[in-house]
């Protein structure tokens, strides 16, 4: 889940940068129902297990969990339904052509509400990391943490 902050919705997929090497990033809108956007504004969404795939000519996000809205009636939404992503036709064609390469996938990175009030999703074309790449990422992260601790200790 996301860090609860009044007014700001920012749900990140922290595992994506650890599991994948990010090649190209895009920002996409989403087609949502009324109860879905209300749940997102209440920080009741998760993109940890989500991935993007093409369904015909359109790009959809699958396995994204948006909890049911607590104050709705029987018109509530299905929590893990496929949701259509809104991109330009040129961006869709570019992604579709790149997806033909072996080992590439489209992963969601960040879900947020834009200044105009729309739900936006940052997605990335990514390539899976090997085990030794993941170890290298952990080493770099530990080194940065130790340096920041040492700098804080000196001050």
Asked if 79 and 65 count as a contact pair (C-beta separation under 8 A), the reply is: yes
CATH number of the domain bearing residue 110: 2.40.280.10
Evaluate whether residue 125 is within a structural domain.
yes
Tokens 């009741």 belong to which residue?
44
- Domain count of the chain? 1
Evaluate whether residue 5 is within a structural domain.
no
The string of pLDDT tens digits covering residues 51-93 is 999 998 899 999 998 888 877 777 777 778 899 999 999 999 9
Evaluate whether residue 91 is within a structural domain.
yes
What is this structure's pTM? 0.78
Asked if 124 and 107 count as a contact pair (C-beta separation under 8 A), the reply is: yes
Pick from 70, 65, 79: which is nearest to 111 by CA?
Answer: 65
Q: 20 lies in which domain range?
A: 10-129
- Looking at 76-80, 109-113, 118-122, 137-141, which range is the least confident one? 76-80
Evaluate whether residue 4 is within a structural domain.
no
Evaluate whether residue 136 is within a structural domain.
no
């Amino acid at each position: 889940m996301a860090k609860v902050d009044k007014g700001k919705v920012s749900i990140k997929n922290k595992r994506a940068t650890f599991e994948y090497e990010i090649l190209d990033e895009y920002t996409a809108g989403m087609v949502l129902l009324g109860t879905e956007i209300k749940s997102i504004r209440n920080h009741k969404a998760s993109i940890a297990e989500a991935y993007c795939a093409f369904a015909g000519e359109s790009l959809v996000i699958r396995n994204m969990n948006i909890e049911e809205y607590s104050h709705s009636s029987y018109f509530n939404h299905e929590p893990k339904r496929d949701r259509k992503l809104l991109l330009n036709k040129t961006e869709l064609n570019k992604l579709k052509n790149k997806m033909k390469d072996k080992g590439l996938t489209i992963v969601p990175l960040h879900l947020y509400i834009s200044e105009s009030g729309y739900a936006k999703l940052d997605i990335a074309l990514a390539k899976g990391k090997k085990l030794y790449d993941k170890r290298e990422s952990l080493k770099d992260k530990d080194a940065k943490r130790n340096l920041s601790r040492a700098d804080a200790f000196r001050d």
